[in-house]
Amino acid sequence: MNRKRGLRILFLDGPNLNVLGDREPSMYGRETLADIRGAVTAAARSEGATVAFFQSNHEGEIVERLQSAKRRFDGVVINPAAYTHTSVAIRDALLYSGLPAIEVHLTNPARREEFRKVSLVEDVVVGRICGVGGYGYTLALLALLRHLRREGARGQA
Ligand code: DQA
């Protein structure tokens, strides 16, 4: 971690999140991914943190981003979307990155279909934020920064 530059957080979004706002609005709302990123960027600025964003509909691209995030970021906020429930590859890449992560979901998967109740990353993340819409991304940023700052302070003690 470089204290001068501030903490660097990578936001990763999985399939169909590029069409947020237009996608099942009764489920996911009218907020777009750009709206969410705008709110996250503003929160990061006031926290003195740096954020980067990547969305893909392709599992392998998310895997590659996680691989290259190792040493380049301090933490990850990830909404793997449908891959949450299926992707061993994304779980393995998250473990490879060695980065602390927060899993975020716009909806609360526990209140939805059975197949959404399984998350292949839930036991390898610091925590999960679900069911509060796009606001969950800002909450995830704040939670991850707090976690990293506490870990950093512990490392220095
Ligand atoms: C989601 C929940 C997933 O089950 C779904 O496949 C998504 C979005 C959410 O943010 O609520 O695409 O991750």
CATH number of the domain at 48, please: 3.40.50.9100
Nearest ligand 1 atom, CA 82: 6
Q: pLDDT class for 156, splitting at 50, 70, 90?
A: confident
Q: How many independent structural domains does the chain possess? A: 1
Is 107's C-beta closer than 6 angstroms to any atom of ligand 1?
yes
Print the domain residue range for 28: 8-151
The answer to whether residue 157 is domain-embedded is no
The answer to whether residue 67 is domain-embedded is yes
Instruction: Please state whether the predicted TM-score (pTM) of the whole model is above 0.85.
Output: yes
Q: Does 28 qualify as catalytic in the annotation?
A: yes
Q: Looking at 58, 83, 85, 105, which residue is catalytic? A: 105
Say if residue 130 is exposed, middle or buried (CB neighbours under 10 Å; 0-12, 13-18, 19+). middle
Closest residue by Cα to atom 13, ligand 1, is: 81
The answer to whether residue 156 is domain-embedded is no
The answer to whether residue 3 is domain-embedded is no
Q: Does 58 qualify as catalytic in the annotation?
A: no
Closest residue by Cα to atom 2, ligand 1, is: 81
Nearest ligand 1 atom, CA 15: 12
Q: What is the pLDDT of residues 65-108, one digit of tens each?
A: 999 999 999 999 999 999 999 999 999 999 999 999 999 999 99
CA distance 41 to 11: 11
Q: How open is the CA angle 89-109-69, to the nearest 5 degrees?
A: 35
The answer to whether residue 127 is domain-embedded is yes
The answer to whether residue 147 is domain-embedded is yes
The answer to whether residue 31 is domain-embedded is yes
